[in-house]
Amino acid sequence: MTHSTTTVRPAAVAGMFYPGSAGALTRDLQRLLRDTPRPPGARPKAIIAPHAGYVYSGPIAASVYASLQALRTSIRRVVLLGPTHRVAVDGLAVPSASAFATPLGDVPLDTGAIASIAQLPQVVVSDAAHAMEHSLEVQLPFLQTVLERFALVPLAVGDASPTEVAEVLETLWGGDETLIVISSDLSHYLPYALACKSDTDTARHIVALDAHLDHRQACGATPVNGLLLAARRHGLRAEMLDLRNSGDTAGDKSRVVGYGAFSFVPVNADAH
């Protein structure tokens, strides 16, 4: 006879990428969200947000998370995809854990939704892929702050095609209760002027729903491309809310990392 146990994936980068105490983290998030212009009122179905340390990319992430505050009680499930940085994965990895922890508390996983994609050949179980991965973790405190209560479907994306990512998104698409979050930075370690040029070009491709980005343009190119395919199929349009880099926020301008914030809303969202 087996007994089900609750396994929690502990926070791996608290105290590094963002404050390790609940009080300091709450203060930082409230300040970041307060200091961002409130975006237009169309309801996002999906967003792209960066995943660096908050001192670098927090203001850019806040610009898109602020758009979710009006949906605080209606979003109940978040499908979160980010690239793997430490562990090689064939396909898209889900964990065996039942919750993810941050200093703000535990986020329960949507085990039913995870079971619904388990039969797809590109979906694998890998706790190793999730154990130290920051691309997903850094999004959670923002989500815990702007949403009231939600269950999470975390996917660490490795070697997969955009079509395989889009198939997973299609299975999990849901209705207004489901938000899709893609975690991606843009260019890496270019000089400031070159990074601005590269990231502006990448943003143009994203807004055009052109699913042919490579990993020089965006470290999360694979999940971004999958979203762009799904967005086109579902009649969404992309809006760029912010585009900056570490040289604009807290870093040296000789080698910068690019960050973009994008919201995906129904094409007819402004019709009424």
Confidence class for position 6, pLDDT limits 50, 70, 90? confident
pLDDT over 70, % of the chain: 96
pLDDT digits (tens, 9 = 90+) for 207-239: 999 999 999 999 999 999 999 999 999 999 999
User: What is the chain's length?
Assistant: 272
pTM assigned to the model: 0.96
The whole-number pLDDT of residue 2 equals 40
Rounded (10°) angle between helices 54-65 and 22-34: 60
Confidence class for position 188, pLDDT limits 50, 70, 90? very high
Neighbours of 46 (CB within 10 A): 24
pLDDT over 90, % of the chain: 91
Sign of CA dihedral 33, 229, 75, 13: negative
Coil, strand or helix at 48: strand
The whole-number pLDDT of residue 238 equals 97
4 has pLDDT over 80: no
What residues pair up with 151 in beta bridges, in sequence order?
A: 77
Range in 3-12, 126-135, 181-190 the model is least confident about: 3-12
Which is more confidently placed, 6 or 75? 75
Q: What CATH number is given for 29-187+203-267 in this structure?
A: 3.40.830.10
Range in 167-171, 212-216, 223-227, 266-270 the model is least confident about: 266-270
The whole-number pLDDT of residue 197 equals 98
Q: Is 235 left (phi over 0), alpha (psi -120 to 50) or beta?
A: left
The whole-number pLDDT of residue 37 equals 80
User: What torsion do the CA atoms of 49, 50, 53, 55 make, to the nearest 10 degrees?
Assistant: -80
Distance CA 100, CA 238 (A): 29
Distance CA 242, CA 20 (A): 26
The whole-number pLDDT of residue 39 equals 66
